[in-house]
Amino acid sequence: MNKTVSILLNLAHALDHLFLLIFATAVLKIGHDLGVKRWEDLMPYASGMFFLFGIASYPAGKLAERWGRRQMMLIFFGGLVGASFIVALSQTPLQLAIGLALIGLFASIYHPVGIPMLLQNTSQPGLVIGVNGLVGNLGVAIASILTSFLVAQWGWRSAFIVPAVIAAILGLVFALFTSNMLVTPANPISNPKKDKHREPVGHVFLIMTITSATGSLLFNFTTNGNTQVLTERLSSILNDPTQIGSLLFLVYLLASISQLVVGKLLDKVNLKKLYLWIVALQIPILFLATYSNGWYFYFLLATLMIFIFGAIPFTDAILAQYVNDSMRSRVMGMRLAISFSISSIAVWLLGPLVKAGGFTTLFTIMTCIAFITLLSISFLPSNQKHSLAHKLSDAKDIKA
């Protein structure tokens, strides 16, 4: 993979997550402008964005295998630009919901297309996944501070317009540097013997989907609710939205670095053991955060996000270990369609849950979700003696 193309694909991952978090960061201002009194009442209008972000992943993966990954990435860039301007021009909650849904539709292209592009012919899949996760979730970090700044300076509509312009520029550069990448994964030029066929083991695919869904639930509950929970739990210390955005930026920056660390470890240590430890540590942190306030809560939130982000690379690592490159877009799309569609419920439920029971109820539910993830991981095969990089180099199937 050309280094410039790899950089562009990683930047696209950052852009993907940035677009998904603009609304959650600016929801107070958007609600005020559109005549919705409480932010909790406006949150369900974003559920279509996250639902399509999941369910559309499977057709995006299939199209990438038949038509080409480059072509789908160009649609990704162009679609985000158009959808963002639709949101920026919205005058009613319904128009806003349609625009956000379109953002989710085009954002769904990245994971089943961009990540398999990066994994093609790599000898260090863990590191590739870790770097991609780091850059992608820097988009989450940038969303909090960039959106807060743009909303304060030029209003919430600019928070969608500025990233759209960035997406247009990146799309043009990507088109120029990938003009010779016209081969589809279904008809590769490379020697097929280099990448032996590894069908995903049935129950491993099921576990991967369950853990992806529960992990995404935690990710959506936190990233979409962190601005509001920090505003509430730090209200006795500060109440400036820009300062809240800056504090969240630091949280997401630290959390993003954890993905790089995990990616490096995946090339060296046993996947299952590492996954179990990272998820197990989420449970006591969530429990303590449930009843905390002030700077103590901020410290717990930062630690929690490190472990939530740190768990993200594992589903991609399992995919890289079990699935042949010619099928990765399709299989990843199928997994994302199921898990992300389920996790989109978090965005729909977030407002009503907090309105009814406060953030204490939300954190209690998240503790239970983390326990389900831990239980599911325990059913992964236990006969993995090697790291991900070693496993791929051997190109051996894992038997359940």
Evaluate whether 244 touches 148 at the Cβ level (below 8 Å).
yes
Comparison of pLDDT for 382 and 315, the residue scoring more: 315
Q: Quick check: is 255 in a domain?
A: yes
Residue 400 has pLDDT above 70, yes or no: no
Q: Could you tell me the residue range of the domain that residue 252 belongs to?
A: 3-180+195-394
Q: Quick check: is 49 in a domain?
A: yes
Of 141-150, 195-204, 231-240, 391-400, the range with the lowest mean pLDDT is 391-400
* Number of domains observed in the structure of the chain: 1
If you average pLDDT over residues 280-289, what whole number do you get? 94
Residue 383 has pLDDT above 60, yes or no: no
Residue 74 has pLDDT above 80, yes or no: yes
Evaluate whether 331 touches 319 at the Cβ level (below 8 Å).
yes
Residue 287 has pLDDT above 90, yes or no: yes
Question: How far are the Cα atoms of 61, 321, 379, 380, 384 from residue 270, in angstroms, in the given order?
Answer: 29, 12, 15, 12, 7
**Which phi-psi region, left, alpha or beta, contains residue 124 (left: φ > 0; alpha: ψ -120 to 50)?**
beta
Q: Quick check: is 113 in a domain?
A: yes
Q: Quick check: is 400 in a domain?
A: no
If you average pLDDT over residues 116-134, what whole number do you get? 79
Kindly report, residue by residue over 339-375, the tens digit of the pLDDT. 777 777 776 777 778 878 888 888 999 999 999 999 9
* Per-residue pLDDT band at 179 (split at 50, 70, 90): confident
Looking at residue 100, what is its pLDDT? 93
Alpha helices in the chain (DSSP H): 3-34, 39-42, 47-55, 57-67, 69-88, 93-107, 110-119, 125-154, 158-177, 202-233, 241-266, 271-280, 282-290, 294-310, 313-322, 325-343, 345-377, 388-394
* Nearest C-alpha neighbor of 109 from the set 149, 140, 67, 146: 67
Looking at residue 197, what is its pLDDT? 43
Looking at residue 388, what is its pLDDT? 55
Looking at residue 255, what is its pLDDT? 86
* Nearest C-alpha neighbor of 26 from the set 227, 223, 165, 163: 227
Residue 187 has pLDDT above 70, yes or no: no
Q: Quick check: is 185 in a domain?
A: no
Q: Quick check: is 35 in a domain?
A: yes
Q: What is the mean pLDDT of the chain?
A: 82
Q: Quick check: is 190 in a domain?
A: no
Q: Quick check: is 280 in a domain?
A: yes
Q: Give the CATH number, domain containing residue 370.
A: 1.20.1250.20
Comparison of pLDDT for 398 and 253, the residue scoring more: 253
